[in-house]
Structure 1
Amino acid sequence: MTARLDRAEDAAGPLVRAIGPDGFLIGEERFAAVLLTPNGATLWSPPPLAELAEADIAPLLALDPPPELILLGAGAATAFPPRSFVAALEARGIGVEAMDSRAAARTWALLRNEGRSIAAALMPIG
């Protein structure tokens, strides 16, 4: 199941209004895990972090133009994805910044307000 919230009228993209153990509140929709792009939010079913692969974030990699950076919210605590995941994105010219999901949501808002070309993948907190 995919839920989408388009915010074409807002240059900053979708805004995470609240974060808790039950997910991320974006607009009036709650997402357990979410992919964020400048144009919307998509429900995401991520694998365990240790198994994360390039294909798991395919919608972010399909953006045109591609993002310069992907923020990876690793859940309740900062953790790092497999080196193969980072290497695959770097080979595409895309940076990866891993942090806890709360920090990634805050960083998303800050960088989008600066007009940066980014995307985010936020894993569940709880």
Structure 2
Amino acid sequence: MRMERERPAAGPLVRGFGAGGYRVDAPDGTMGVYPALLLTATRADNWAPPPLDALDEAALAPLLGTPIEFLLLGTGATLRRAPRALVAALDARGIGVEPMDSRAAARAWGVLRAEERQIAAALYPLDH
């Protein structure tokens, strides 16, 4: 699927996704494809996620060094709950967790960044 937005957001944008992963435009004009992805307002990084049930703060460390309101958690092909311990740990930092399937999270990323929301995203592979 290819996605277009009327108002571009600052930072990396998910331009599409498919079997190979997420197509991301970086702020420097380069494009990359990532099977699993960590996003902040300034960077996109490949990610080797643990099983969702084992997801913890350590796996999200690259995202937690920046001020964020909440984390978009793309849980793969279907919506799954985030681990309770992770939700509690992030809540203690003042960070909310919004789990959704990874396609929805990829679409929401651009909308929320266009609103200049301070968010981060962790997107599991679509075949997960």
What is the aligned partner in structure 2 of residue 31 from structure 1? Answer: 34
Counterparts in 2 of 1:73-112, with a 5 A limit? 73-112=74-113
What is the aligned partner in structure 1 of residue 10 from structure 2? Answer: 12
Shift of 1:29: 1.1
Shift of 1:12: 2.4
What is the aligned partner in structure 2 of residue 48 from structure 1? Answer: 51
Q: Distance in 1 between matches of 2:78 and 2:112?
A: 21
Q: Deviations over 1:10-31 (max 9, x none)?
A: 7522111111122101132110
**Are the equivalent residues in 2 in contact too, given 1:78–1:100 (CA < 8 A)?**
yes
Q: Deviations over 1:67-118 (max 9, x none)?
A: 0110000000000121000000000000000000010011111110001110
What is the aligned partner in structure 2 of residue 61 from structure 1? Answer: 64
Q: How many residues align?
A: 115
Provide the secondary structure at the position in 1 that maps to 2:88: helix
Give the TM-score of the pair, scaled to structure 1.
Answer: 0.87
**Are the equivalent residues in 2 in contact too, given 1:11–1:38 (CA < 8 A)?**
no
Q: Distance in 1 between matches of 2:13 and 2:116?
A: 14
TM superposition outliers: structure 1 runs of 4+ over 4 Å? none
Q: Distance in 2 between matches of 1:125 and 1:111?
A: 21
Counterparts in 2 of 1:108-119, with a 5 A limit? 108-119=109-120
Q: Distance in 2 between matches of 1:102 and 1:12?
A: 20
Structure 1: runs of 5 or more not aligned: 1-9
Output the aligned Cα RMSD: 1.1
Give the TM-score of the pair, scaled to structure 2.
Answer: 0.86
Q: Distance in 2 between matches of 1:91 and 1:83?
A: 12
Q: Distance in 2 between matches of 1:47 and 1:86?
A: 16
